[in-house]
Structure 1
């Protein structure tokens, strides 16, 4: 399966008024940009993957194309480990790509392999289960009332847990929001918190201790992922599980120290920011060797969440699939939605991803095609 072509589409969609400014492109106040990578082989197989684009699809695509196309063309698509190691060397010497550049290309390699094997992706990886519980995460909302309404909607829809991304303007306000949400949903529903490293170590010790009293399931990214010493100190002073490492570059190598020296209780990884399927599997297997979970982090766009779902079904040390709420904001690019019933996602059984891309939608939202 020799790779003969490598293309990247630059795409954008309206933000629908829900999405925080931080997720939108720099060129428009209401546009979300993304990429679609496509690899083609000499034997007629092709595979595509959505990709994160940060603030510029054009800029992200150019960087990826100039660095990755020469690396991939002429390679056997089944030699994923060779390509991974070749990329590691090339990226160190000169490319220094963003953490989200390699993942989509690696995903395409795995899809090509599963198509050739005529197997669902999760079984080609190494199936563990065919259903996965789903939880939903908030965007940044205005006030307690908005978080309560959303948490209740998530619970009523049958999802298995809800995670808050608080406003992070004032620690007292954030704690009040967490208390109000717990009161609203009751004690029989799992809640998590992700303050995105908003406060100091001392403030976060207090924050974590308050969440313990409220029976929150975990505290995610309480401090910057690279703040190993501070995270270890926080972890030594609280009982709530600390989860992190999603934004560390160069998984699994950067995460090895996090796991081995007890920086967090569980690590985070996803197919977008952690090096594609290969990177996530390496991190998940490393975590498993230390009897720790690798909780799969949202990749935002549902065609990538579908890949995350296949990962969740392929490893034993993960609890949930994560989706952003409202789930329909990023539910585009697939011909049919991910099969979720009462908070349980069921894996598709067709070869590859199992759900086709909606190419009419993608073509209608492509503003540039990068081919060289």
Structure 2
């Protein structure tokens, strides 16, 4: 949908099994982390260090904070994790804290701030743009209004110089937006773990091979519902 300006897209793995993702050929990886207390500075650093060791010095690493950090934690984490050369911190705060996130951006460089999956129309991204709150916008195509809204969001991002990397972009809904627009060449997938890989809700989804997804050229989104789930 929307045309196919690229035939393949690099994927990044979200999850905790860093070594397995490296074996699968991923060159980018996002770790889910949550803040509970001061011990999490070292605990998070240990997770990131393990991921860096598994994927190598050239891989892109990110962390998803699940809105569990505040401004002080974010600044201190940026310093604590500096040796590991992270690409972005995702959802450090709740979506309404735009001014606070805008104030953080300069303080945590070169790490970028990412977010936006919890915006449910393109109008929310106008507010993000006006606040200059985020470096990376992450609309979820199944939540923000579909491909049409996604196209509007990408257009707005280009106007203000923001990067767009859709939430769950490795699923076909987001994959089509990435393939048709100026989104960053990076699509999120959730492989699970060796012991618990996800069951296919949709059939004919393009697989990840050596860290890359081949964009389908079949009609529509190119998938059909797995009737075993109905």
When the two structures are superposed, what TM-score results if normalisation uses the length of structure 1? 0.56
Residue 211 (1) aligns with residue 49 (2): no
**Cα deviations across residues 281-304 of structure 1 (Å, max 9, x unaligned)?**
2111110222221111017xx8xx
The aligned counterpart of 1:237 is 107
- Which of 152, 162, 176 lines up with 2:29 in the alignment? 162
Greater relative contact order, per chain length (Cα 8 Å cut-off, separation 6+) = 2
Question: Unaligned regions of 5+ residues in structure 1, if any?
Answer: 1-120, 139-146, 364-372
| Alignment pair present for 1:153 and 2:37 | no
Aligned equivalent of 1:353, options 215, 221, 227: 221
Instruction: Give the superposition deviation at 1:205.
Output: 0.8
Confirm or deny: 8 A CA contact 1:246 1:270 kept in the other structure: yes
For 1:333 and 1:179, the matched residues in 2 are separated by 34
Take 2:6 and 2:157, find their aligned partners in 1: how far apart are those partners?
19
Q: For residues 306-333 of structure 1, give each alpha carbon's deviation from its aligned partner in whole angstroms, at most 9, with x where no partner exists.
A: 1211111111122311111317744413
Kept in 2, the 8 Å contact 1:268–1:294? The answer is: yes
Provide TM-score, normalisation by structure 2.
0.88
Q: How does 1:192-231 map to 2 (within 5 A)?
A: 192-231=62-101
Aligned length: 224
2:191 — aligned with what?
Answer: 325
Q: Is 1:191 matched with 2:67?
A: no
Q: For residues 80-229 of structure 1, what are the structure 2 equivalents within 5 Å?
A: 121=1, 125-138=2-15, 147=16, 150-170=17-37, 171-172=40-41, 173-229=43-99
* Residues 268 and 295, structure 1, Cα contact 8 Å, conserved in 2: yes
- The alignment yields a C-alpha RMSD, in angstroms, of 2.1
Which consecutive segments of 4 or more residues in structure 1 shift more than 6 A? none
Q: Highest CA radius of gyration, 1 or 2?
A: 1
Partners of 2:150 and 2:46 lie apart in 1 by 35
1:335 paired residue number = 203
Report the 3-state secondary structure (helix = DSSP H, G, I; strand = E; otherwise coil) of the residue aligned with 1:133. Answer: strand
Residue matched to 1:98 = none
SS of the aligned residue for 2:201 comes to coil
Q: Which residue of 1 aligns with 2:146?
A: 276
Q: Which runs of 5+ in 2 are unaligned?
A: none
